[in-house]
Amino acid sequence: MKMKMNVFIVGMDRFNLKKLQRVPEAEECEFHAALYIDEIRNISQYDMDALIDKAEQRIKSTPGGIHAIVSYFDFPATDLIPILAEKFGVPGPDLECILKCQHKYWSRYEQKKIIPGHIPEFCPFDPFEDDPFSSINLELPFWIKPFRSFRSFLAFKITTKEQFYEYIDEIRENVSYIHEPFLYILKVHEIPDEIANMKESCIAEKPISGHQCTLEGYVFNKKVVIYGIVDSIKDQYFFSFLRYEYPSCLPDEVQNRMVDVCSRFIKHIGLDNSAFNVEFFYNQANDEVYLLEINSRISQSHADLFEKVHGMSHHRVMLQIALGREPDPLGQNGEFRYAAKFMYRTFEAGKVQRVPSEEEIDEVIKEIPGTIIKTRVVEGQRLSELQMQDSYSYELADIFVGAQNRDELVDKYNYILERIPFSIERKN
């Protein structure tokens, strides 16, 4: 009997493990946790030395060694993949290339060299200066955000100087949560001094707007491939994501321009042997495409969408690359023509009084096949205590649905909300 290959996951969780176990290559693999999800999420601080040591010890103690390492989560998982891959001699991307994607200022700095017409104006700043506003050489409005973050954590749109100072206190209080452990990676792993030694920790950039979407792709042996484009629909007032919808409704010509811009940047920074997703805007007013940010991983939020439409999640792409194999096309064997992930949100703080019961959720899933419902809160929880939320809302649940047309997606979602009520006690 042929021995199975040991595949280690940074941030192993039940939802994504099930997706991995359904891809064809899973029959050849045994999946192990390098780190579990609760070791990198909802924790008080990131001790990078301890996380790296824990992952290394688990890998070393597993009979048969390691054949591949993967992750579908952002910080610190994405940053640890190249470190651990190099340590154990398995396929993986170069750390500096990964950081040129994940470090928001460094990424913009590199983008300006190769795709200057497709990015906004930007500048770094130090939130701890006496007068940080004066060091930002951009006219209002602009966005401010940390060099390293995820899920729009500490990202604020600034329209007045007063608003800037209202939010800068929150940034000062919380920016070290990710920036300090990220700085550890920059300084310990021989990153250029001009980046590693920057006193700034935040970036300001002019707003870009239009139709937002995400390109999912990979680069293998220097060949860049885009295999899907997912639309991102936001709340028009608070900039929070309401749903991801697949496939994109953008014209092919616009999609092709995004692919070209993306490919040029990927090749410029030398990224190889990695999955990635790249967020873009298409501005219909001036018929231009703008790159928002690049992430050197699959978006696990899109996994179920690909599975519903293609019959296969893009976890297969991630796994094949990690095994040193060129990815196969996802195919067209899904049950639905369209799929969406809805983020059910509330925009006011409060205390959770009621969440749907397991029985209520199970009834809806039986009634609407293909539906997945993941609640994000528990009864008695204060929304203000939720970690890693965007700056404008609180996420109560994720709801995945499939349909044969776009209108049916929204109809199913609205019906599901009626069947799984939440109750929030608001402050007076």
The pLDDT profile of the chain, 428 residues, written as one tens digit per residue, is: 678 999 999 999 999 999 999 999 999 999 999 999 999 998 999 999 999 999 999 999 999 999 999 999 999 999 999 999 999 999 999 999 999 999 999 999 999 999 999 999 999 999 999 999 999 999 999 999 999 987 778 899 999 999 999 999 999 999 999 999 999 999 888 888 889 889 999 999 999 999 999 999 999 999 999 999 999 998 766 667 899 999 999 999 999 999 999 999 999 999 999 999 999 999 999 999 999 999 999 999 999 999 999 999 999 999 999 999 999 999 999 999 999 999 999 888 889 899 999 999 999 999 999 999 999 888 888 887 777 566 678 889 999 999 999 999 999 999 999 999 998 988 75
Question: Residue 168 in contact with residue 132, Cβ under 8 Å?
Answer: yes
Report the distance separating Cα 210 and Cα 282, nearest Å.
Answer: 5
Supply the pTM of this predicted model: 0.93
Q: What share of the chain is helix, strand, coil (3-state, %, to 5)?
A: 40, 25, 35
Does residue 11 come out as left (phi exceeding 0), alpha (psi in the -120 to 50 range) or beta?
left
The alpha helices in 311-354, defined as continuous H runs, are 315-322
Report the distance separating Cα 364 and Cα 399, nearest Å.
Answer: 11
Question: Residue 217 in contact with residue 224, Cβ under 8 Å?
Answer: yes
Ordered domains of the chain (ranges, CATH) = 5-95 (3.40.50), 121-205 (3.30.1490), 211-426 (3.30.470.20)
pLDDT of 388 reads: 59
Report the distance separating Cα 224 and Cα 143, nearest Å.
Answer: 30
Report the distance separating Cα 51 and Cα 35, nearest Å.
Answer: 8
Give me 108's structure tokens.
């913009």
Question: Residue 189 in contact with residue 180, Cβ under 8 Å?
Answer: no
Write down the residue that tokens 């990424």 correspond to.
Answer: 107
